Amino acid sequence: MGDRDSEIAVRIRDSEEVTTTFNQLSVTVGKFVHTMRLRLMNEHVGLPLDDMATLADPFSHSFKSNWHQVAQQNTAIFEEVFDHIASSRVKTWAAFRELTASPGEPKNPERLRLVKGHLCLHPLYFLSDEPPTYRESALDAQLYQ
């Protein structure tokens, strides 16, 4: 075992079935796996674990809207409180070094109470103005220690 992220695969044979909606179509699914999926999704967006309706259809507009809204809100809060973290607004290595030179204390840490669940947007444009080879080598060595 290493100290990095890992994946697992599990096969579950569920003999009890329930009817739900996927992409506005009625489908029959295994009850255990369906319930586990809903509980995990609820945990990710900060809903009560027993809420079986809000995120029931992962293909619906309301699901996508809720999911993305929570991720955007959490990201905005983290970027406000911890202005020295990797962010899409940081386009160069020099800008990142400037931010992390003296990070100081978190700003408005009480805002962290507004974070829902665990979702955040991935900083797709972090270091986007740097050449790819430089960006990749710099990230390995200095960002993830």
Question: What count of other Cβ atoms lies within 10 Å of the Cβ of residue 34?
Answer: 20
**Digit-coded pLDDT (tens) for 74-107:** 999 999 998 888 889 999 989 988 888 877 788 8
Q: Check residue 28 and give its pLDDT.
A: 94
Structure tokens at 36: 């586990």
Spell out the residues 6+ positions from residue 30 whose beta carbon is closer than 8 angstroms to its own: 12, 14, 15, 16, 17, 18
The count of residues in the chain is 145
Buried b (16+ CB within 10 A) or exposed e, 99-111: beeeeeeeeeeee
Q: Where do the domains of the chain lie?
A: 8-59, 60-145
Per-residue pLDDT averaged across 58-86, rounded? 92
Tell whether pTM > 0.85.
no
